[in-house]
Amino acid sequence: MFFNDRQNSIDKIMEVYMETVKLGILGMGTVASGLVKIIELNNSKISDSIGKKLCVEKVLVRNPNKKRNSGLPQNIYTTDAYEIINDPDIQIIVELIGGIDPAREHIKAALKNKKHIVTANKALIAACGGELEELAAINGAKLMYEASVAGGIPIINTISENLAANEFDQITGIVNGTTNYILTQMTENGLEYEQALKEAQRLGFAESDPSSDVEGDDAVYKIAILASIAFGQEIKIKDIPKEGITKISREDINYARELDYRIKLLASAVKKGNEIEIGVHPTFIPAKHPLSTVKNEFNAVFLKGNAVGELMFYGKGAGSLPTGSAILGDIISILKGGKTGCHKFKKIEKYKITYNAFKPYYIRFEVIDKPGVLGKIADAFGANGISLASVMQRQKNGDNIAPLVFITHAAYRKNIDAALKEINKFECVAKIADIIMVENFE
């Protein structure tokens, strides 16, 4: 007890003499509130770690008169970003506005003023990470963005620091919590897509306009960042094919379960020789694979390094405290003078960026239930060099229309599309309802 009291008094005295590091924050939404809360909650732990005190000096908001529960004094708020960018006392600026503009202009101006930047802005880093890193390097400042991918999971600094000795073969992630929540609810509670989306919105996992999440754009930004860092080559978002989850029906989910698979929105980058196959798609994955156990709003990143082997990181991919934790990790790293924040987006062309996966596919048709249909479709697949692994025809939907489900052996998507183009002309085929890639992680 005596030693604890003595230590506490010493800590208090040290704290009085500690240098204060002033932070500016651009934006005061959910993540900024989490950041402020952690600074308050874990104040002495943070000071112990860096030997300095953190203090929020100014915060950019749209409406300075709005009542907020941040615990920050009212006079800290400003509507002028340049009050923060040009403040000589502010060392680190945390950008939490999101989107490309005006965030990009603010960050550029701040880097030119030699401020360090910490951001959670995945769209901006995916679009201009290289350009901003160059500007940071020229100005001797750091640009850190751990919070831009998978919220609380420390994946960016892990790939670029702790695993830097590895050549990577694969990075595959469930990096969007909204879609993972929706797919989990469809799988486990039998909800239809629209019902699950409404529930996600009610719980605050999905935005009122969920398009960036459900159409796959959010996951594209994140895999662009992860793959650019892991493979040492800037990968452009325009080169990443994507498909969202809006077409996934409960029928697809049920067939997946019957076949001992789960459907997940995977963001994946795989190295094959001098090519990187990259894309974002709903995917059948084996029910026993660790990524199948990632449920609801949780995220996970699975990777293979040539030295470390397989690794999987799991945690909350969004939310005020997990994302705030990632931001503070970057702030602490800057203040400890670590090497993180160096140039990670390299403008070189080591690899060709492709999407040429040779994988099995799940294909669901709605067909007219009459003799010869199955054979006709199977022949069209065969004529296009596609070998079938299994077929299921269960119950009628009424109106003489029956679902017919095929799982193919590994095939190129272009051959699948050629076969489907032919099959689509058959009058016995009412609809090609869905095509989903199967990933067996072999």
Kindly tell me which of 31 and 141 has the beta carbon lying closer to ligand HSE: 31
Kindly tell me which of 57 and 218 has the beta carbon lying closer to ligand HSE: 218
**HEC per residue, the chain:** CHHHHHHHHHHHHHHHHCEEEEEEEECCCHHHHHHHHHHHHCHHHHHHHHCEEEEEEEEECCCCCCCCCCCCCHHHEECCHHHHHCCCCEEEEEECCCCCCCHHHHHHHHHHCCCEEEECCHHHHHHHHHHHHHHHHHCCCCEECHHHCCCCCCCHHHHHHHCCCCCEEEEEEECCHHHHHHHHHHHHCCCCHHHHHHHHHHCCCCCCCCHHHHCCHHHHHHHHHHHHHHHCCCCCHHHCCECCCCCCCHHHHHHHHHCCEEEEEEEEEEEECCEEEEEEEEEEEECCCHHHHCCCCEEEEEEEECCCEEEEEEEECCCHHHHHHHHHHHHHHHHCCCCCCCCCCCCCCCCEEECCCEECEEEEEEEECCCCHHHHHHHHHHHCCCCEEEEECCCCCCCCEEEEEEEECCEEHHHHHHHHHHHCCCCCEEEEEEEEEECCCC
Footprint on residues 359-398 left by ligand HSE (CB under 6 A): none
Q: Which of 259, 223, 263 is nearest to 239 (CA)?
A: 223
Instruction: Sort 184 into a burial class: Cβ within 10 Å, 0-12 / 13-18 / 19+.
Output: buried
Minimum CB–partner distance for residue 336 and ligand HSE (Å): 26
Q: Interacting stretch for ligand HSE, rule CB under 6 A, among 20-28, 170-178, 182-190, 287-295?
A: 170-178
Interstrand relation of 275-286 and 429-438 (parallel, antiparallel or unpaired): parallel
Q: Interacting stretch for ligand HSE, rule CB under 6 A, among 172-180, 276-284, 287-295, 366-374?
A: 172-180
Of 315, 317, 322, 329, the one binding ligand HSE (CB under 6 A) is: 317
Map residues 203-242 to x or -, x wherever contact with ligand HSE holds by CB under 6 A. Answer: ----------x----x------------------------
Kindly tell me which of 205 and 261 has the beta carbon lying closer to ligand HSE: 205
* Chain position carrying tokens 């493979």: 231
Which structure tokens are listed for 251? 């029928």
Minimum CB–partner distance for residue 322 and ligand HSE (Å): 10
Amino acid found at 356: N
Q: Interacting stretch for ligand HSE, rule CB under 6 A, among 85-93, 175-183, 241-249, 409-417?
A: 175-183
Map residues 422-441 to x or -, x wherever contact with ligand HSE holds by CB under 6 A. Answer: --------------------
Kindly tell me which of 94 and 438 has the beta carbon lying closer to ligand HSE: 94
Of 143, 318, 419, 437, the one binding ligand HSE (CB under 6 A) is: 318
Minimum CB–partner distance for residue 122 and ligand HSE (Å): 6
d(CA 149, CA 158): 12
187 binds ligand HSE (CB under 6 A): no
Minimum CB–partner distance for residue 250 and ligand HSE (Å): 21
Kindly tell me which of 291 and 435 has the beta carbon lying closer to ligand HSE: 291
Kindly tell me which of 39 and 300 has the beta carbon lying closer to ligand HSE: 300
Q: Interacting stretch for ligand HSE, rule CB under 6 A, among 174-182, 185-193, 301-309, 369-377?
A: 174-182
Contacts with ligand HSE by CB under 6 A: the residue count is 8
Q: How far lies 111's CA from each of 93, 147, 233, in Å?
A: 9, 19, 23
Q: Interacting stretch for ligand HSE, rule CB under 6 A, among 10-18, 173-181, 266-274, 422-430?
A: 173-181
Out of 108, 222, 316, 359, the active site residue is 222
- Told to judge if 346 belongs to the known catalytic residues of this protein, a careful annotator would answer no
Footprint on residues 103-162 left by ligand HSE (CB under 6 A): 122
Minimum CB–partner distance for residue 345 and ligand HSE (Å): 19
Q: Interacting stretch for ligand HSE, rule CB under 6 A, among 171-179, 230-238, 357-365, 408-416?
A: 171-179
403 binds ligand HSE (CB under 6 A): no
Of 33, 91, 170, 176, the one binding ligand HSE (CB under 6 A) is: 176
178 binds ligand HSE (CB under 6 A): yes
Active site residues per annotation: 222
**Residues in touch with ligand HSE (CB under 6 A):** 122, 176-178, 213, 218, 317-318
